[in-house]
Structure 1
């Protein structure tokens, strides 16, 4: 299987979204990754409902909403109604994670948890049977362009083992360079969020870069 390649839309040029989306569609990306930040759960503010609506109007492909916000249970319907197909929750931001995931499934959408670097996998054991995806953060959330946290190797190795039991897919988010995408794809990671390390450059050669990534992964 080829890796799932997901451009991080907070890195694109929203002043010319139609052109950006046309280039990404030409590059045959697999899904769009939307970071939703409220300035409270993480020290930054990013995309919102209107941004997802704008992206949805320009594509039929899957859109995920990575909710880096406080109390997401009260807001997941906003993002589903805006056009999101996958909702990621941070377990530490929500008191009743399983209940919220069940609600997302009732809305006929997919759900997953996003795991910050300092969150233990053991503490999330009860959640895995309910997850379609696990979004493993390999940088601290909130800002693009951060350095990869090398100690995440052990966490990813453990997640690859767990997915054989629970059937979720693993998406890696943070400093996903071409070299890391090749290495972790071979290790069993299913997909990668692409930001400034692998995709978004001033030359906008999105198709060329994605073709190269698919070629080197060998899956």
Structure 2
């Protein structure tokens, strides 16, 4: 799974960092297995319905907190009225290590305590339009992990969905972190390249993307 030509760590914008090949094959297999479990219960993976009546082409399952446009809750009232699976400590630890490695700062993760993950599965012609992650009540960084097919990740500005933006190819195992001045940048996935993933990950086809976040919400 290693690249013939090493891909360097790159700061795409202030606070936005791409770390290629951050996840090894074993960790990717572990994440795929965990995602399969979360996708089946207690709240199954689904195509999210938007307020205007449209349906997202990606399939989504959430842990820790359930996201639906445009709010979080513990109970998936729009799916099956079940409480979502808890957010595991080991995934929070992975998120903290991601911040340390992305920002190359041992102190970067000192206050980082992710409590939710949105897991998106891209299959066929699935895409993600330009959007901001702004339903959280804090501005802690978002940690994004990619497994499976390579995609074009479009990372834009904080003002609009339009240019300027930068297109980055995210391959299986890549890490992308965006925080600080780039925390509320518009971003999306205009293209996925089918058949580019390696079955060694345990994912035969498609693309998995896990985004770890701090909601800033109090439990009850």
Structure number with higher relative contact order (C-alpha < 8 Å, ≥ 6 residues apart): 2
TM-score (norm 1): 0.29
Give the structure with the higher percent strand.
Answer: 2
